[in-house]
Structure 1
Amino acid sequence: MKQKPYIVIMAGGIGSRFWPYSRKNKPKQFLDVLGTGRSLLQMTYDRFREVADPSRFLIVTHKNYLHLVLDQLPELKSDQILSEPLQKNTANCIAYSAYKIHAFEPDATLIVTPSDHLILRENRFQESIKKALDAAQEEGHLITLGIKPNRPETGYGYIQYHEDIQQGPAQKVKTFTEKPNAKLAKAFFESGDFVWNSGMFVWKVKSLIDAFKAHMPDVAEVFEEGIEHFGKNTEEEFLNRAYTLVKNISIDYGILEKSDQVYVVLGDFGWSDLGSWRSLHEIRDKDEHDNVVEANGMLFDTHHSYIKSDSEKLVVVQGLENYLINDTENVLLICKLDAEKKFREFVSNARKKGEDFV
């Protein structure tokens, strides 16, 4: 591969499962969740600087977060921030970036990554990325990074692969199942035959566009029209129209479940998608009772819980098991630690109380 890849960072989500710490005006990707002095977006950028120069980065985000990206990544130029007028899920986010890059460099290779993941073993991660880049050079192949699961998680996609069919370091995917129910996730986990889809992808831009034409022709038709607008003063007008024409769908449902050209590179690099308070609880330091305490707290008979408060008030907790207590700005949240499926309902009802609460 002569030219370095483009790095496409998806940074347009609202982070509702981290509410009320993550808010509409500043979602979790822009927060220093891990206390490192860098936001999750900045940590993602730092990680991929090992792979590509700043000029090869594109950040796709909602128009409301354009200023946050520019503030946090001042080394990027404004035309490297792709501003979506509506949040229409990952298929359209990826299509926008792919068709725009294809208009200027049709032989490019793309690495697509979320902005809010944690990688603990950076050296191993870089090795996996190199393998994926090599595998992606085969025409038509779509490469994802797969992670060995440690629990029956319903929030991730699951990949079953052919052990005897390889393309270099990548295994051919047999089945791709996006976010199974609890019973199916348990069966996948116990079988030992499945890995999690990390949500990170590597592909030639031409391979991806061919996949859009084959499996999402409606999206392909819309974004092909953008070729004559990308990089011009008509781009915003085109996007405003285009995003009203495409449906809200993930790349997983739209292409990966349908294509027979998906391959997986297996990775073991200490990955977490930091998608919920429970996933953050897993990687934070805990006391002897498996509690994460980020507060001026006093805990009694409390186990496997997460206590976080931004204020100096004393937080006294007694008799809780598997609970989240989060006191952030004008919202106090008390719920089960594993209640992430309820968070959209929480946020929806909080909005009825007033936009200041979301």
Structure 2
Amino acid sequence: MKFVPVIICGGSGSRLWPVSRSAHPKPFIQLPDGSNLISKTFSRALALNGVEQVVTITNRDLYFKTLDEYGAAAPEFTNLSFVLEPFGRNTAAAVALAAQEITRVHGPDAVMLVLPADHLIEKQAAFTAAVDSARELAAQGWLVTFGVQPEYPETGYGYIQKDIDKPLGGGFKVKRFVEKPDLEIAKSYLETREYFWNSGMFCFRAGTLIDEMKLCAPDVLDAVESCLTESGEMKGVSHNSLHLDSDSFARVPDVSIDYALMERSQKVVTVPCDIGWSDIGSWNSMSELSSADEFGNRIDGEVVLHESNNNYVQSRRRLAALVGVENLIVVDTPDALLVAHKDHAQEIKAITARLKKSGHCAHLDHTTVRRPWGTYTTLEEEQRFKIKRIEVKPGGSLSLQMHYHRSEHWIVVSGMARVVNNDRAFLLNTNESTFIPAGHTHRLENPGLIDLVLIEVQSGDYLGEDDIVRFEDIYGRS
């Protein structure tokens, strides 16, 4: 029986702003140990028994970023399949899409393990044992959830109540799902030992999932099937990608898999587990990944503290100093600074909502932006000019493109560039430059074996990133 892990990479991690942004969400942010959550999730999936393929559901804008992380974590594993969403549509759509795709390739008996890309699990052996139990129950036709043994009365998680009178192999029939409770109710759940944190991980046969959605959420399933008929697949050497049609995907109901199916189906069981799980849902939980000093302070970066207690400080780019304060969260990035009281960590998402409503770019991306070919960093920007640092990977190539409203001046700092400027093609070495007038068709490539670094000076009436007309692109973006 085929076994296929499905990694769902979505959401913006708004409670972890300013590090987490819409275009650089929580799965990709750097943890104190230097890794990130999506790499850990991918490696954790590959460590399970019998994994031959991994399916990933993600936004199309995160496709190349995800490929980079997978390649760095396990370059030898190439049997990847992607379902690329044009925008987020919640977990019911994502799970149903994965089930349809797995059924098409492997048949309805294939067992799928759904893993959010932004969760931390520190006990691999216990996780593997829990998955093995879940796979056995899934093969019998159950929809399996993973119930994490609660360690304290958490109000930020949903809960699963087991039916103590109905044990099933390594699990229990689920009695009910409970939304996030208040503190007193959470305390009572902890005392009964009948309740588990809802981890958001699932395991089931693809065919069972589809059959149960026909009964409990036919509107979701019908909309997903309609979307698939309108969508196109691209086959690569090492992986395939299914690009979902935007118009039909917009008609898929925006609902969670818990609400659409798990709370309604009669085939739901839970496997209790103690796997060192956390969804890293706030800066308070992120801070616990760093060790505390004698005064309860946890730091990530270069930080000086005086007469300060129980603070979390992240400042990786410059020195930060705190004097005479306590219970603060301080997170410094190149373009935004967060200062919050620990008791209000859950309310940080209100800041991102206000930034998004006002159209402020700090909700969307950082000053350094990753692209399939490398990165660019905005160094300075005024009304009629912008200065960028551009880094192109060996073999990387920007699209053949044109701008209506801006001209560009390129100065090579390191490496070698191959440039197309209208009807001319030539090489630029270190300390050489070229000028691209507005309206000129142009392309930048790195033909060398080391990173190409250059400074780009833009000037013109409009400097937005949407002033790009692409004619050719090796990454399929034209």
Settle same-fold status: TM greater than 0.5: yes
Structure 1 position 62 matched with structure 2 position 59: yes
Structure 1 position 258 matched with structure 2 position 264: yes
Aligned partner of residue 73 in structure 1, secondary structure: helix
| TM-fit CA distance, 1:101 | 1.3
Q: Distance in 1 between matches of 2:245 and 2:342?
A: 39
Aligned partner of residue 139 in structure 2, secondary structure: coil
Q: 1:40 to 1:236 in 2, by over 3 A?
A: closer
Alignment counterpart, residue 326 of structure 2, candidates 317, 320, 327: 320
Q: 1:98 to 1:357 in 2, by over 3 A?
A: closer
Partner of 1:35: 33
Gaps of 5+ in 1: none
Aligned partner of residue 269 in structure 2, secondary structure: strand
Gaps of 5+ in 2: 235-240, 365-478
Q: Distance in 1 between matches of 2:326 and 2:144?
A: 43
Matches within 5 A, 1:77-88: 80-88=81-89
Q: Distance in 2 between matches of 1:341 and 1:220?
A: 33
Partner of 2:6: 8
CA contact (8 A) 1:330 1:357 kept: no
Partner of 2:313: 307
After TM superposition, what 4+ stretches of structure 1 lie above 6 angstroms from structure 2? none
Q: Residue type of the partner of 1:32?
A: Q
Partner of 1:17: 15
| TM-fit CA distance, 1:47 | 0.8
CA contact (8 A) 1:109 1:202 kept: yes
Q: Residue type of the partner of 2:124?
A: E
Partner of 2:346: 341
Matches within 5 A, 1:203-282: 203-226=204-227, 228=229, 232=233, 239-282=245-288
Over the residues paired in the alignment, what is the CA RMSD in angstroms?
Answer: 2.3
Aligned partner of residue 160 in structure 1, secondary structure: strand
TM-score by length of 1: 0.90
1:281-324 CA distances to partner (integer Å, 9 max, x unpaired)? 23321112222111322323433321111222232232222x21
Q: Distance in 2 between matches of 1:354 and 1:119?
A: 34
Partner of 1:170: 171
Q: Distance in 1 between matches of 2:108 and 2:97?
A: 14
* More off after superposition, 302-311 vs 77-86: 77-86
Q: 1:232 to 1:115 in 2, by over 3 A?
A: closer
TM-score by length of 2: 0.69
Partner of 1:120: 122
| TM-fit CA distance, 1:54 | 6.5
Q: Residue type of the partner of 1:349?
A: R
Partner of 1:153: 154
* Larger gyration radius, structure 1 or structure 2: 2
Q: Residue type of the partner of 1:256?
A: M
| TM-fit CA distance, 1:274 | 1.3
| TM-fit CA distance, 1:58 | 0.7
CA contact (8 A) 1:15 1:22 kept: yes
| TM-fit CA distance, 1:162 | 1.6
Q: Distance in 1 between matches of 2:319 and 2:290?
A: 22
Q: Residue type of the partner of 1:43?
A: K
Q: 1:237 to 1:143 in 2, by over 3 A?
A: closer
| TM-fit CA distance, 1:227 | 5.6
Aligned partner of residue 339 in structure 1, secondary structure: helix
Partner of 2:411: none
Q: 1:114 to 1:166 in 2, by over 3 A?
A: same
Structure number with the bigger relative contact order (C-alpha 8 A, sep ≥ 6) is 1
Aligned partner of residue 288 in structure 2, secondary structure: helix
Q: Residue type of the partner of 1:138?
A: Q
Partner of 1:101: 102
Q: Distance in 2 between matches of 1:69 and 1:308?
A: 25
